[in-house]
Structure 1
Amino acid sequence: MSAAKIKKGDRVVVLSGKDKGKTGEVVRSMPRDEKVVVQGVNIAVRHKKPSQGQPQGGLERSEAPLHISKVAHVTGDGKATRVRFEERDGKKVRVAVKTGEVISG
């Protein structure tokens, strides 16, 4: 397993699936499972029965994890790009392949 190319706080675009083309911020990164949770994307709906704590019951919506291969980092102009690692000034940094700019974080 290599270092995480997509981290919490990154802006990403979904490349495939029902939410293709949607962009959002990574809320949670799970590098061991190779999954990420993106805000407002891949919404899962659960039907909850009424209970003492929630007497109304109803629908519970939450973001479900996406595989990391289905998302790509978004550059400043809003286009998807791959991420590579380079060594600059003696430090290992993430770099956008399309623009060559260093990705903070």
Structure 2
Amino acid sequence: MALQKIKKNDLVVILSGEHKGKVGAVLEVSSKNQTVIVKDINKKTKHHKPSQENQEGKIEVREYPIHISKVGYMIKKGNAQNKGAVSSKIGWKLNEKTGKKERFLKKTKKVVAGDK
């Protein structure tokens, strides 16, 4: 499996679509489908019909996946409405001391903090 550039708990900016410009934390990454689920973004309502197990039925609101190409790693926060947040692409480079790969921001050339 290929290394993931966007990982769980990363702060991301939505780059295109209905939620463009909004910021949220990544809850889940699916490398198989190339999608991410972002907290409080792309929420939809799912109606469950009554059944043998669930006599009453229910209405569930949950986050749905967004394609990974529509999100970017956030490097600068925007204002209160999350307007003006700046994102960057992520690349890989080899750490010369440890010999391990590290994620870095292509705009600023800084290593992403929090990598193991």
Relative distance call for 1:65 and 1:85 in structure 2 (3 A) is: same
Q: CA deviation at 1:59?
A: 2.7
Q: CA deviation at 1:74?
A: 0.5
Structure 2 partner of 1:83: 90
- Which has the larger share of strand? 1
- State how many pairs are aligned: 103
User: Any gaps of 5 or more consecutive residues in structure 1?
Assistant: none
Which of 95, 98, 102 pairs up with 2:111? 102
Query: Sequence identity, in percent?
Result: 39
Q: CA deviation at 1:64?
A: 0.3
User: Any gaps of 5 or more consecutive residues in structure 2?
Assistant: 78-85
Show structure 1 runs of 4+ deviating over 4 A.
50-54
Q: CA deviation at 1:87?
A: 0.7
TM-score, with length taken from structure 1 = 0.86
Structure 2 partner of 1:25: 25
TM-score, with length taken from structure 2 = 0.79
